[in-house]
Structure 1
């Protein structure tokens, strides 16, 4: 039996889902939350994504606003509660949530589950709270105390997961145990539906940035930074990769994705780099709405990125993808397919910057050989490869 019974869902008016969501988390979790909404359409389904850190880190607050914009576009959700920059702002948000008298709360808090448990009870004294415990302290000896505010808890049993499982398998096991939902395996993977306006924006942006009608080659979307230095590729590596690909075909159009915080810096570096001068390189930052980013990714012929949400958007929009990942949490890797290649670090202790440019070049060449529809590139030791051609 699930932690929350069908009768409880049917009798409830409002459900609050609490999780410190990143973009990739929401992309995959919204499939399971949408299934709850489909089975119980009368429910107001709200999302609390504040992570209880209460600091002013720009990347954290920007990511939160981005997810809030995304939630607004999804028909299954009524409202969201974003990350706060101070205890006072968080208190105001808690007070707003208290007025809605949530009947049910689902917590998917990972290692912060116990904090969400107490917060959920503060928000709704009479709600039925079902929590995924995530990691336990001291081998679970403190679970009774840590989750004393929750009515029922669930612990993931990794032994029941498939071999080489994907993160969607984890989320499905958790949400099925809590909410009793059932999905076919083919329905676990998300599809990112893009509104028409951002799609038009992407076309206009490409036209403006790459205006030479004689140099309308394939579009390669590149992302070399994340929110963790261990997952960053170096700028010099990025530029070297662009130069190697560009030497094969100067018509190639390169897009470097960057957040606003680093946009001016990377733009100056691109303009002043002698090795990039012969090539078409544009710097992109989403300006007004989240969907500008996946809409531009959807127009790319190839996406090359470190392990961040970009790789999940590329997979969800069906774009050819080369992802750079560490040998940690492999279940976050994009699903295997003909259009996806994952390049791992050599050792678990290594960072993304330990992946050499030549290794990425070989991955691009191998993908081109397999699909015959991706940009074809050459490297210094493979001069007999065919020139880069648009798909």
Structure 2
């Protein structure tokens, strides 16, 4: 068996570790288990996480949305994370964060960034000139001199594709990384996503449902609660709002769903447009929801629902985390990102690998709901 990339004597001398990653919510949903397992295996090492914002920009208008990234709320509640670098969304703040990290004099830095690994190899060494630095390394051509020079800054390199086989789930891939890095092994059952929702956000979700007349009032409202998420960061993974309206009408015709209530999840920056679009449909028990105040508003609302229909984004993984059944609408491109809880998840996949999620029809979703 190949030796772990981070030597045992380095770990024994380390009091804190910096993980660098361009984390999306979906990434953290599964990497969280790895970080927690690391904290349990090495309780004397404090975990610091650098969340690199790949959308970093000088455009001031974009900063409010980048600054309010929901993942920061989640990380703030993780008991095994001691420090988070989250001011990386502008070039100036990025440089200030680099200087702050350099002051920590990290004995161990690990980059888990698969995008532009040479850049992150250089960045990791910049943060820790004297520490043990590990980073991702992908094959580079003979003429890619700048990449080879960047990789030389690493004390050890991790091939993110090593050991990856067809059919592997992303949680298995991440577990494999930590095994290569630190010699850590884990059982598949320990890779299931989880989220601990603070009580105040559970109460807030219940209050919102009561205000909408969906739940928690006297007399109690009849009808199931269906959560629909048509939004993703990439247009290829979004579902048209027109399909959502069609789905609401179709579901209302199903015996098991008569009198249902519908919550449509909207990303904060699209709320104004969505409100105009759905204004004619509020009488059909459709309400718009957006976790604009805090990340935990989202899992708290998911927890209250009977079923979740979501495009391929973090919502379908959070559905598994709160143990609510989910119908996932996915392209063929990334099957490793399917919801992990197969017993409580149904995946509807596009017919062609080149198809966008919008190719999935309302009839396909209704067929699943009608079973």
Root-mean-square deviation (Å): 2.2
TM-score between the two structures when normalised by the length of structure 2: 0.91
Question: Residue 347 of structure 2: which of 342, 345, 352 is its match?
Answer: 342
> 1:109-167 CA deviation, whole Å, 9 max, x = no partner?
1132211111111111111011122x433389755323121111021455x44652100
Question: Residue 42 of structure 2: which of 40, 46, 52 is its match?
Answer: 40
**Number of residue pairs matched by the alignment:** 361
Question: Residue 176 of structure 1: which of 176, 179, 183 is its match?
Answer: 179
In the alignment, the residues of structure 2 paired with residue 7 and residue 216 of structure 1 have an alpha-carbon distance, to the nearest angstrom, of: 62
- Decide whether aligned partners of structure 1 residues 214 and 65 sit closer, same or farther in structure 2, where only a CA change above 3 A counts: closer
Deviates more, 1:68-77 or 1:45-54: 45-54
> 1:68-87 CA deviation, whole Å, 9 max, x = no partner?
11111000001111253322
Deviates more, 1:59-68 or 1:250-259: 59-68
> 1:272-319 CA deviation, whole Å, 9 max, x = no partner?
2xxx35421110011321111011111110000100000000011111
Question: Residue 308 of structure 1: which of 305, 313, 316 is its match?
Answer: 313
Deviates more, 1:65-74 or 1:303-312: 65-74
Contact persistence 1:224–1:306 (CA under 8 A)? yes
> 1:41-99 CA deviation, whole Å, 9 max, x = no partner?
12121111113542148499548631111111000001111253322111111111111
Q: Deviating runs (4+, > 6 A) in structure 1? A: none
> 1:257-284 CA deviation, whole Å, 9 max, x = no partner?
1122111221222122xxx354211100
Q: Following superposition of structure 1 onto structure 2, how do residues 89-168 of structure 1 map, counting pairs within 5 Å?
A: 89-133=93-137, 135-138=138-141, 144-158=148-162, 160-161=163-164, 164-168=167-171
Contact persistence 1:18–1:107 (CA under 8 A)? yes
Deviates more, 1:209-218 or 1:46-55: 209-218
In the alignment, the residues of structure 2 paired with residue 173 and residue 308 of structure 1 have an alpha-carbon distance, to the nearest angstrom, of: 22
- Decide whether aligned partners of structure 1 residues 12 and 217 sit closer, same or farther in structure 2, where only a CA change above 3 A counts: same
- Decide whether aligned partners of structure 1 residues 204 and 59 sit closer, same or farther in structure 2, where only a CA change above 3 A counts: farther
Match of 1:298 in 2: 303
- Decide whether aligned partners of structure 1 residues 286 and 156 sit closer, same or farther in structure 2, where only a CA change above 3 A counts: closer
> 1:209-233 CA deviation, whole Å, 9 max, x = no partner?
1267464311101000111111111
In the alignment, the residues of structure 2 paired with residue 235 and residue 266 of structure 1 have an alpha-carbon distance, to the nearest angstrom, of: 8
> 1:312-336 CA deviation, whole Å, 9 max, x = no partner?
0001111110000000111001125
